[in-house]
Structure 1
């Protein structure tokens, strides 16, 4: 593996991994549950994820290795937790890949209504897989520019939205009063806000990719802390600021699921050019997150194989230091989404979102617990770390309680209950595989 990722790459990889379909498309479901109070959901979720990222960051700075998440679980917690962490993270990003690809066709259909959704997913999969097979530097550059497009668009949207709100004539559909005029800021009460967290947390999946990049990060002692500290406040501004502007521009209860709410709202307020630009942006966002998913999946398989938890052929690197078989295996399994979109066009996104969220919660739980074990080890050895997490161990337990509440909320949402059934089956399958492989 080669340290070809610079600080600007890590910054954009973190932003790119977390700004995607969850915000641009999945936020519709969260808005329907919480109304304007969804901004509170994003704020709470963002704070918790920042704390978890500081936990991962403390470990990653001390030991910047590829596939770091599973490595730390194995070293500081035990053989099975490491096995579970690695395979669950891989599973999570396979499902995230499917979720992102499942809506590519929705965006393409905005321009070409007759174009098959399954074909859009297939074309995206083939192109991005091919680019990832070249070099890690090309991946970093590709993700840098795609993330930059998303960020520029969000900033531009907030600025344009703010301008429209200041210049809208009295009595128009747009206005800050939309934040409370349609049932209040909490139209479904605090319960609706808590329920929306089950959808909102999907949006934050991907930030932990900073830890996975540690093995290929240039000067990890400096770049990893900078990436974690700088990226979280930007994401909170983007998420909370974006939601406030969108729901002020148009009544929250009139946003449907036919397209991205970003595209719908700017089309409704009479700016078709902005709607087309934003549709291009949300398409880029989905491709960007899929690009990050392919990267993280292949590196996690590489780390698992090096640790003896996956077939040895997955450690094979190309001449450019790319884990080629890890990329091909992950992409091959992701082809399932093409078949799903062929047989059930427009119906599979929420199911993928639910399963991906449940898998992400398992990842975050394991980071928090592994960090507790890591700090116990550090204290026993009388060592100090370079990038300490905040409020350990109390905030570790607060984060764990918050994540347990997210699972409870998922169980209350009809479209997400499937994940509550699937995840125990998946965890049992991992345990059986671990026993068959033989405990180390």
Structure 2
């Protein structure tokens, strides 16, 4: 009999895990409380910058980022082939620009250990930077150049994954509303109740609720310290300046997309589950652009938006089987790296499915285990259920 999987959450991570299961022959249902890809995934700038995201040392998180980044070209090719859609994947390289020579010192250590771990890194002086990125104004002391980093158009990738999953037979259920009950059933699977679709049973469940993952604490008996961080982004369309690379400045980043727009991101603040775009958040980005790129001075963005990034207490995602629940896997808490980490997360989930749900091993996997924050007590369970 065909095995059945229920994916809770239809963002980039949930869709990626669903796609992996479909490739293994599972019958898949994806239930999303709102619109598919309508939360952090659709709001992302699509950065694939594992070296920028890891400035300290080659730890387990760096290994996970690199594993996922290495999978990207072949994974994207599969998604595009299955969907018939382009995803705007561009291996542009990146520039981390600095104004003063003293600022170079803060990047020297990062350049050393990342180069030792396979990065194609080099320091560009002012003249070298002018040749690499002619659109930048003069006056920079230089830039740390990484030839490998890339970006993708997140809304297009989400759209492609939705179509690829549908073409492989997935049942996609947007606007499912809140999850009101979940329990293991007599057959060893899981039964989940939704506001709009009623009860759905499956042989296995993959929990990909992003910033809302904490709502599963009572059912799973785990502390799930995932909280939302609002990220605000804006876009200039058409772009007043044509950048060849991702450009990282001290307060923002800019990336030109194949559709001719220029994305600028991202402000961060804690506002609970409020996705309101604020003048303060976007104003911060606009001012940073005017200071670094004179071509943006006095130009208003064509559009702006916000998403809720799922952050954990230790900054690492929750990826792995849930202790005490044989048929439940968690993939959540990716913060601002959901786009980057989707291929590796889906691969880890696929390994778990292929192994019949056996617990994973290894130091790297151990670092991301969902049970690392401990269980919930009676009081915490009661609070989570309210």
**How does the TM-score come out when normalised to structure 1?**
0.25
TM-score, normalised on structure 2?
0.28
Q: Which has the higher contact order (CA 8 A, sep 6+)?
A: 1
Instruction: Give 1 or 2: higher helix fraction.
Output: 1
